[in-house]
């Protein structure tokens, strides 16, 4: 079975500061990894995804994530956040060949002025 | 492209009433997912359709819940009878590929259901 653990439920940060949202996963088979963002009162939208190849993945809005197989992690980073980045962020995985995306519990990023 | 369309956006009903949530997936997408989101349980997959056929409904919590997809452009999620613990935000999502690395799901804005 696969699982996703987001280590922080809330992350407050000041505007223009760097941020890292942590995600660990568990799987005995190959998986694809995703980060989705949910703005208030909206559905989720894809930020970035790791399929294979380079372990550093760049996404929209200046976010990037690094796949670390030995540590089974897929942490999301941004060097300088904006107020508009305030949202909930979900780490997710999909078993290779599967259809069921498994979502983490979410991390609420709150950017303060 | 209008994206995934859900209606209604908000629904308030009384315990015991029937509730029907509607979803129109993105044109051309052949996979459709219904999710429920609550503070306590996070995002849960309820049911998944591929080419209008239910593939996995193991996430449907009880027999009170049912979902249909009569054609490629419309799906419903029905709760009958509704209970207060069904209060949640229900999301519909669609995808152009059933599984695989390009299985990016496009989510609708959700229906916020409150059962009194």
pLDDT at B101 over 70: no
The B residues from 51 to 110 touching A (CB cutoff 8 Å) are 55-56, 91, 93, 98-101, 103-110
A93 in reach of chain B (CB within 8 A): no
Q: Return d(Cα A110, Cα B15) in angstroms, integer.
A: 35
Task: Give the model's pLDDT for residue B20.
Answer: 98
Q: Return d(Cα A38, Cα A40) in angstroms, integer.
A: 7
Beta bridge partners of B21: B77
pLDDT tens digits, one per residue of B5-48:
999 999 999 999 999 999 999 999 989 999 999 988 889 999 99
The C-alpha angle with vertex B77 and arms to B88 and A35, in degrees rounded to 5, equals 55
Q: Nearest CB to A103: which of B42, B55, B100?
A: B42
What is the chain A residue with the closest CA to B103? Answer: A99
pLDDT tens digits, one per residue of B47-88:
999 999 999 999 998 899 999 999 999 999 999 999 999 999
pLDDT at A88 over 90: yes
Which residues in chain B are closer than 8 Å to A106, comparing Cβ atoms?
42-43
Q: How far is B15 from chain A (nearest CA, A)?
A: 24
> What is the Cα gyration radius of chain A?
13
Torsion, Cα of B70, A38, A10, A28 (10° steps): 60
Q: Where are the alpha helices (DSSP H) in A5-106?
A: none
B6 phi and psi angles, rounded to 5 deg: -125, 145
A1 in reach of chain B (CB within 8 A): no
């Amino acid at each position: 079975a696969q699982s996703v653990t987001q280590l922080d439920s809330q992350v407050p940060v000041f505007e223009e500061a760097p941020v890292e949202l942590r995600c660990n996963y568990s799987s005995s088979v190959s998986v694809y990894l995703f980060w989705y963002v949910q703005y208030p009162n909206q559905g989720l939208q894809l930020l970035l995804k790791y399929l294979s190849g380079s372990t550093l993945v760049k996404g929209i809005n200046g976010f990037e994530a690094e796949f670390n197989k030995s540590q089974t992690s897929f942490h999301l980073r941004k060097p300088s956040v904006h107020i508009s980045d305030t949202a909930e962020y979900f780490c997710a995985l999909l078993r290779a060949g599967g259809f069921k995306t498994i979502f983490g519990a979410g991390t609420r990023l709150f950017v303060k002025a | 492209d209008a994206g995934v369309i859900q209606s209604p956006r908000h629904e308030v009903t009384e315990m015991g009433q029937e509730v029907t949530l509607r979803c129109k997936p993105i044109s051309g997408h052949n996979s459709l997912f219904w999710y429920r989101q609550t503070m306590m349980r996070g995002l849960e997959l309820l049911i998944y359709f591929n080419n209008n056929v239910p593939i996995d409904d193991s996430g449907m919590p009880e027999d009170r819940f049912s979902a249909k997809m009569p054609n490629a452009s419309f799906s419903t999620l029905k709760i009958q009878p509704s209970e207060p613990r069904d209060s949640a935000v229900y999301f519909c999502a669609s995808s152009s590929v059933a599984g695989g690395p390009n299985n990016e799901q496009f989510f609708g804005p959700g229906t916020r259901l409150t059962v009194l």
